[in-house]
């Protein structure tokens, strides 16, 4: 009888000793290591700077979404996610935001900051392709909408406005410069090409006024006698002037010279005289003055006393 009691006690003792081992085995079989599924590429550890980002709360034990620092529990910020395996809070990398404890990539045309739980659209005049930075549109392009993923190059005949949100049309007879930031008027004897990209020269023996819009604006260059062509218009020459051979400039006939302000042609001063000009307000007077003493000029039409030399 005593032997039976002793054996029973031994069996009970063995069961008690081995029971925790069985429980631990069962626990290991059912525990899932969440760190294997945690996307660590989408966040970075900011626990070192955590003290400035959260509301402190003293607790006896830490719950989910809380971390323990120096014996106290702290809530993870809204813009972070919590890794239950590492028991740390992580901030999503730029271009991602925190949602339901997961880092989610920003949608097209939006960016995220370092401290955010949402993404914001890039303003008009800018764009993003990496969900990290909003880039200002380059010269000659625009983005009219918020949340743009690219800027549109301004078409011919238009320029970029100041805030780069749209392209403005140049006036008729004007084209855009190479950067498409300024409109330039087509000069005389040219016209705006059909694709609005350049100023095209008029055909031979034809001319046009500045700002012409079509080849139809190029007209014959023949002007009446005594007139020259200026910016596509025939203009009469001043008194005693005549057109040059190409009818592009008025000149004095041979043997005459222009007066002081070039309003008419007059005969030159003879040898021994020089031309002197006096100005009284807007009135110009010219007359011939004899050379002083024993001096003379070498030829007619002297214009200064410096032309007088000793005889």
Question: Long-range contacts for 159-168 (Cβ within 8 Å, ≥24 apart)?
Answer: 159/183, 163/124, 163/125, 164/125, 164/126, 164/136, 164/137, 165/124, 165/125, 166/142, 167/142
210 is a domain residue: no
Confidence at residue 56, expressed as pLDDT on a 0 to 100 scale: 44
Confidence at residue 292, expressed as pLDDT on a 0 to 100 scale: 92
Cα–Cα separations (whole angstroms), residue 129 to 42, 98, 109, 140: 18, 20, 7, 19
148 is a domain residue: no
32 is a domain residue: no
Confidence at residue 115, expressed as pLDDT on a 0 to 100 scale: 66
299 is a domain residue: yes
Of 72, 88, 121, the position where a domain reaches its end is 121
Of 96, 121, 146, the position where a domain reaches its end is 121
* C-alpha torsion angle, residues 178, 180, 182, 187 (rounded to 10): 50
Confidence at residue 158, expressed as pLDDT on a 0 to 100 scale: 97
Of 88, 121, 154, the position where a domain reaches its end is 121
The number of folded domains in the chain is 2
**How many helices (H) does the chain have, and how many strands (E)?**
1, 32
303 is a domain residue: yes
24 is a domain residue: no
Give per-10-residue mean pLDDT for the chain (311 aa).
58 45 28 36 47 44 79 84 86 89 92 80 95 94 96 96 96 96 94 96 86 91 82 82 85 82 83 79 69 92 88 83
Confidence at residue 18, expressed as pLDDT on a 0 to 100 scale: 45
Confidence at residue 52, expressed as pLDDT on a 0 to 100 scale: 45
Confidence at residue 88, expressed as pLDDT on a 0 to 100 scale: 86
Confidence at residue 214, expressed as pLDDT on a 0 to 100 scale: 94
Report the distance separating Cα 309 and Cα 287, nearest Å: 20
230 is a domain residue: no
Report the distance separating Cα 81 and Cα 37, nearest Å: 14
Q: Which two tokens stand for residue 209?
A: 């006024």
pTM: 0.51
The parent domain of residue 68 ranges over 37-121
């Amino acid at each position: 009888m005593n032997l039976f009691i002793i054996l029973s006690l031994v069996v009970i003792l063995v069961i008690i000793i081995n029971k925790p081992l069985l429980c631990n085995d069962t626990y290991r079989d059912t525990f899932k290591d969440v760190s294997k599924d945690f996307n660590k590429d989408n966040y970075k550890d900011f626990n070192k700077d955590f003290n400035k980002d959260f509301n402190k709360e003293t607790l006896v034990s830490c719950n989910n979404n809380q971390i323990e620092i120096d014996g106290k529990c702290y809530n993870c910020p809204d813009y972070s996610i919590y890794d239950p395996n590492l028991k740390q809070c992580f901030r999503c990398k730029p271009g991602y935001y925190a949602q339901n404890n997961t880092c989610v990539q920003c949608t097209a045309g939006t960016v995220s900051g370092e401290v955010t739980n949402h993404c914001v659209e890039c303003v008009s005049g800018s764009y993003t392709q990496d969900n990290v930075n909003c880039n200002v549109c380059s010269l000659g392009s625009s983005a009219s909408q918020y949340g743009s993923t690219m800027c549109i190059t301004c078409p011919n005949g238009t320029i970029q406005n100041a805030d780069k949100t749209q392209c403005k049309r140049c006036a008729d007879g004007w084209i855009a410069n190479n950067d498409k930031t300024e409109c330039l008027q087509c000069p005389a004897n040219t016209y705006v090409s059909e694709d609005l990209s350049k100023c095209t020269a008029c055909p031979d023996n034809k001319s046009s006024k500045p700002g012409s819009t079509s080849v139809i604006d190029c007209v014959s260059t023949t002007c009446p006698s005594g007139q020259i062509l200026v910016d596509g218009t025939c203009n009469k020459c001043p008194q005693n002037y005549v057109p040059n051979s190409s009818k592009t400039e008025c000149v004095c006939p041979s043997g005459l010279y222009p007066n002081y302000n070039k309003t008419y042609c007059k005969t030159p001063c003879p040898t021994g005289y020089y031309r002197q000009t006096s100005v009284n307000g807007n009135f110009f007077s010219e007359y011939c003055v004899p050379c002083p003493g024993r001096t003379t000029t070498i030829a007619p039409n002297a214009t200064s006393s410096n032309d007088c030399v000793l005889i």
